[in-house]
Homo-oligomer: A and B are copies of this chain.
């Protein structure tokens, strides 16, 4: 029996409320051996009180040593096994720019501008053009016309763009056309089954037309395509957990991931204050709230230890307003670690706290990596967090008599 079958057997409805605050990339590292992490350095009186009253632990986003992207990191926190439910690259890229995917008709693809010389790839990233140039090239590419299908092209950043093919019966078993090397021509797209052969023909036609349109635009005079993907079939949080769920996220990627599991996407504004105001306003209408806080990750990615500390302190200051709503279960965690020391996502376990009347005291009085190590939740796989949330929300019956 897998987790979701078990949940289906046990779940019960009540009017409890669960708040999941995801501080993106929350976990960190000390800059020097024996030092403190960003979270341990930050003054976080409100999070510390939650840690004291609740139960803490360290979440393993996927498995020990595995660094997740935002997709698997969030799916796990939403209670979906990230090794079982995979989101294709093209779809993630489209979610990241807030593209409204049609789950039934769309195949989303990542595109790279490349530099071609005599039909051979000279630069796989077209000399890393500016994002403005990327936008200008994308505007030109919108001239592409393919009978029987719509092709939406959207800029991402520098040499990267997204193309979404919308039509009937399109498959996504299509190879990348990026040969991962230079001095050779782009690969031809081929399909692994009949629907995917249709997509492949469309993709090859798209690349051919782009080649003509951009022929005088060197170094951005060609394109390769990667990560062909349809929208994944995932049970909604309502279907799986019986929860009416809402997302309050400023950035498109996280709204997209929430939508993937059927959450309603609420207008989050663009600050933590507008997010909290939305939480208060929508309080009566949902069972579960996902509130996403980006800046713990972006400051980590920038490698700015002090800024990350500051962003954690800002989050801490917003905690009392969330708690004033008296959630039955209040969780603060991250989708992965982003230590400023590494300037990137990492595999390190993520500090997690769960506050509920049914939490067992564990002696932890500060919210930090070292203290969470001694917490009552131990080190646990992130995919189990929703089981704990459901249990503390008293939304589970007994397994077996």
| Interface of A toward B, CB cutoff 8 Å | 1, 3, 6, 10, 29-30, 33-35, 37, 52-53, 58, 62-73, 82-84, 86-87, 89, 92-93, 96, 341-342, 345-349, 358-363, 369-370, 373-374, 376-380, 384, 386-392, 396-401
In contact, A358 and B346 (Cβ under 8 angstroms):
yes
In contact, A64 and B400 (Cβ under 8 angstroms):
no
In contact, A83 and B6 (Cβ under 8 angstroms):
yes
A388 nearest CB neighbor, chain B only:
B65
In contact, B33 and A53 (Cβ under 8 angstroms):
yes
16 contacts between A and B (CB under 8 A): A6-B66, A10-B66, A29-B358, A30-B360, A33-B361, A34-B361, A67-B396, A69-B399, A70-B401, A82-B400, A89-B401, A341-B358, A346-B391, A347-B388, A363-B370, A378-B378
Residues of B near A82 (CB, < 8 A) are 399-400
**Complex Cα distance A346/B3, Å?**
18
In contact, B348 and A30 (Cβ under 8 angstroms):
no
**Complex Cα distance A350/B342, Å?**
30
Residues of B near A89 (CB, < 8 A) are 401
In contact, A67 and B346 (Cβ under 8 angstroms):
no
Residues of B near A84 (CB, < 8 A) are 1
Residues of B near A378 (CB, < 8 A) are 58, 373, 378-379
In contact, A361 and B83 (Cβ under 8 angstroms):
no
Instruction: Tell which of A58, A63, A64 has the most Cβ of chain B within 10 Å.
Output: A64
Q: How far is the CB of A255 from chain B (nearest CB, A)?
A: 16
**Complex Cα distance A68/B397, Å?**
9
Which of B1, B35, B65, B363 is A387 in contact with, Cβ under 8 Å? B65
In contact, B387 and A63 (Cβ under 8 angstroms):
yes
**Complex Cα distance A87/B399, Å?**
11
**Complex Cα distance A358/B10, Å?**
39
Which of B33, B346, B362, B369 is A373 in contact with, Cβ under 8 Å? B362
Which of B33, B346, B379, B399 is A66 in contact with, Cβ under 8 Å? B399
Task: With A34-B52, A378-B378 given, name 6 new contacts (CB 8 A).
Answer: A66-B399, A67-B391, A69-B400, A92-B400, A342-B358, A347-B391
Residues of B near A96 (CB, < 8 A) are 401
